[in-house]
Amino acid sequence: MSEETLSFQAEVSRLLRLMVSSVYSDQEVFLRELISNASDACDKLRYLAITEPDLIADGPDFKVEIKVDGAARTLSVSDNGVGMNREDLVRDLGTIARSGTSAFVDSLTGDAGRDVQLIGQFGVGFYSVFMVADRVEVSSRRAGEEAAWLWSSDGLGEFTVAEGERPGRGTTVTVHLKEGENSWLQEATLRAVVKKYSDHIALPILLTVDDGEAAAVNEASAIWTRPKGEITDEQYTEFYHHVGHAMDDPWLTIHYKAEGKIEYTGLLFVPTRRPFDLFDPARRHAVKLYVKRVFITDEAEGLIPSYLRFLRGVVDTEDLPLNISREMLQTTPLMRHMHQAVTRRVLSELGKKADKAPEEYAEFWDNFGAVLKEGLYEDHERREELLELVRFRSTAGDDLVGLKDYVGRMKDGQGAIYYIIGDDLETLRTSPQLEGFRARGVEVLLLCDPVDDFWLQAVPDYQEHALVSATRGTADLSELGEPEAADDEDPAEPAREADVATLIALLKQTLGEAVKDVRTSDRLTDSAVCLVADEGDLDLRLERMLKAHNQLDASAARILEINPKHALIRNMAERATQGGAADDLADLAHLLLDQARIIEGEALPDPAAFSRRMATVMAKATG
C-alpha cells in the first residue's frame, strides 16, 4: 500500500495550535506522556499474553527505551508493547478522545495553566509532543501481526500513514526537535525529567545518548508495593498523573495494604478537579486492577461502585489467578469482597477528612457530592455511612451543613427535617414556599442536584426524624408556633374567616379540576399564593423531570394555598362576599393559579388566556 495522506479532525488541528501557543511553558509534559503511553502499551500486551503467550515469543521482557541522536536532532521513545496497526494509528492519533471532542476543544481557553490540566484530563497527552517538535514519526507493529506502519505529521493539519519496517512488535515515537530545543539532547536533562515524572513506572526505562551504553534511569518498581514512608508527596503526585491521565494534584491519597481473608494493596486518589467523563451515562470507574503486579483491566466491573467513579488509582491482589477472564471477574466472590473492603476504606477516609478539614471537604463536595449521593439509593448496605458524608446548602447561610448538624440545631418542637428541591440554588432561596419556615426560624435544606429527586425516595428519615418536602401539604408548621414579625412592622390582619371561606368556595368552583384543593396556608407570609403537592403525589420537580423524559403522560392536580393576610387575597375575599363581578373574580382566580405555576417554574397550559386576562385586569386597574 502506498503512502496515504489524511487530514486531522478540525478539533485536532485547533488543539495542536493551542498546544504550541498556550501550553508552551509546560514542555516537560511531552516526555512524561510518551513514557506513560509506552508503559500502558506494555501493560496491555502483558495481559493479552496471559492467554496468548505467542504474542511475546520474540521477547518476554518489557522495557521503555529513550534514544538521543544529536547529529540528527532527534529524540525517540520506544516500547515493546502491544503496538498499533494502520487502523489503530488513524483512529488513535488522528482523533482526540473519540467521544466529546468538540466539547473538549471548546473548553480550551488559551490560559496555559488551565488548558494543560484540561488536556491531561481528556487523555490527549500525545499531542503535547508538538510543543518541541516540528515533525513526529510513529513507527509501530502490532503484536501478532507481520505488517509495520509509519505515521508522520508536522502538526499543521495533515498526517500520512504508509507501510513501514520494524523488526519486532511495539512502537517508536521519533521526535524531530525544533531549532533551539537543544536541552532535550542533553543526558542530564532527560535523566532529571524521567526521575521527576516517571520514576514510578514499573518497567525499566533505558537511556542511550549518541550510541553510548544504555543505562536505566528509573527505579522500575511498582510504587504501590513500596512502603509509604519511602514515597514522597511528589512521587505520589506523579503516579497519579500517570495512572489518572491527569494534570491536577490529588485532593486525597489513600495508600494501604489489606491482609486477612483477602490480601490486596490499594493506591487510590481523589482528584482535585472533576474528570470530564464524571457524568458520562456509562458511569464507569477508572481504577486499574492488577494481579501480582500484572495489569489486568481498567474496566473491572464490580471493583468500585459507580458512585465512587471519580477515584483514580490501582488495586493489586495476590489472590486472583493471572489468567482470569474479564467475564469471570464479574462472578468471583473475591471481587465482591474487594468491592466491599475498598468502598468501606474510601468512605472511612472521606469521613475523616470531613471531620478534620471541613473547608477542604467542602471543595470535594462541590465537585463530587452529586455523584456520591447516588449511593444513597444504590447502596443500602452503606446508606448510614453515606448519610454522615452528605452535605447541603440551606437557608441558614452559605456554609454546607450535614444532617447531624441540622438535627443538632432544630427548633424546639420541630420533628421533621425540611427540604426543598429545585433547579437553581438562588431560585430556591427566594421561593415563596420557604416564607413561613424562614419567619419561624426553621432551617430548610436546599437541594438542586438531579439525583436528589431519587435518593429521597429511598431515605425516609434520619435519626428518626422524617425528611419532609417544604412543597408538600404534609409540611405542618403549626407545631412550630406563629411567625415572628419584624420589630419595625405591624403584623398584617388576615381576612375574615367567613370571607375567606366564600373565596375558597368560589376558587374551587371556578378552577374546577385544575386544582386538587384550595385552602389557606401557614407557609406564606409575603406571597399571595403557592402550589403544593398532596401526600402521596410526586414532588413538583420530579414530576416535571419525568414528563420531560416522556416517563409521565399527565401532571397531577396540585393544592392551591392562599395567604389570607395578603392584600390581594383580602380584597378578593371581600369582593366575593359582597357579590363582586363574577367575570372579574374568575379572571383573578385563573391569574392566581397561573402566578403559582410560574413561581414553580411550570409552563402555563394556555399562555394566550393568561395574557388576555392580564391585559383585562391591567386595563381596569388603570381606569
For residue range 126-164, list pLDDT tens digits in order: 878 888 999 999 999 999 999 999 999 988 778 899 999
- Separation of CA 475 from chain center: 33
Q: How far is CA 530 from CA 287, 326, 605, in A?
A: 48, 55, 17
Element (H, E) at 405: helix 403-408
Write down the pLDDT at residue 265.
Answer: 96
Write down the pLDDT at residue 102.
Answer: 45
Fold of the domain spanning 224-359: Ribosomal Protein S5; domain 2 (3.30.230)
Specify the 3-state DSSP secondary structure of 374: coil
State the span(s) of the chain assigned CATH 3.30.230.80. Answer: 224-359
Per-residue three-class SS string for 2-33:
CCEEEECCHHHHHHHHHHHHHCHHHCCHHHHH
Per-residue three-class SS string for 474-492:
CCCCHHHCCCCCCCCCCCC
Looking only at Cα atoms, what is the longest distance across the chain? 106
In this structure, the number of other CB atoms found within 10 A of the CB of residue 152 comes to: 19
Write down the pLDDT at residue 115.
Answer: 47
Counting as low any pLDDT under 50, the low residues of the chain are 23-25, 97-105, 112-123
Residue type, 240: Y
Write down the pLDDT at residue 9.
Answer: 59
Torsion angle, alpha carbons of 36, 38, 44, 48, to 10: -160
Geometric angle at alpha carbon 237, from 235 and 243, rounded to 5°: 100
- Asked if residue 11 lies in contact with residue 105, where contact means CB atoms within 8 angstroms, the answer is yes
> Which residues have CB under 8 Å from 210's CB, separation 6+?
68, 69, 70, 71
The class of domain 392-480 in CATH terms is alpha beta
Specify the 3-state DSSP secondary structure of 98: coil
Specify the 3-state DSSP secondary structure of 163: strand
State the span(s) of the chain assigned CATH 3.30.565.10. Answer: 4-221
Write down the pLDDT at residue 402.
Answer: 96
State the span(s) of the chain assigned CATH 1.20.120.790. Answer: 497-621
DSSP string across 81-135? SS---HHHHHHHHHSSSSSSHHHHHHH--S-HHHHHHHHHHTT-GGGGGGGTEEE
- Strands of the 392-394 sheet, one edge to the other: 397-401, 392-394, 444-447, 417-421, 465-469, 461-462
Q: Which CATH architecture has domain 497-621?
A: Up-down Bundle (1.20)
> Which residues have CB under 8 Å from 102's CB, separation 6+?
11
Write down the pLDDT at residue 477.
Answer: 76
> Which residues have CB under 8 Å from 537's CB, separation 6+?
543, 556, 558
pTM for the predicted model, two decimal places: 0.74
CA distance 582 to 576: 8
4-221 placed in CATH 3.30.565.10 = yes
Three cell numbers, residue 130? 508538538
CA distance 141 to 33: 20
Q: What is the pLDDT of residues 249-296, one digit of tens each?
A: 999 999 999 988 889 999 999 999 998 889 888 899 999 998 888 888
State the span(s) of the chain assigned CATH 3.40.50.11260. Answer: 392-480
Query: What are the residues facing 265 on neighbouring strands?
Result: 257, 316
- Separation of CA 36 from chain center: 25
CA distance 395 to 254: 35
- Using alpha carbons, select from 193, 268, 224 the residue that is nearest to residue 35: 193
Q: How far is CA 557 from CA 456, 502, 554, 580, in A?
A: 22, 22, 9, 27
By CB atoms closer than 10 A (0-12, 13-18, 19+), residue 272 is middle
Torsion over CA: 115, 120, 124, 128 (sign)? positive
- Using alpha carbons, select from 477, 485, 472, 474 the residue that is nearest to residue 411: 477
Name the E strands within 70-169: 74-79, 133-141, 148-153, 158-164
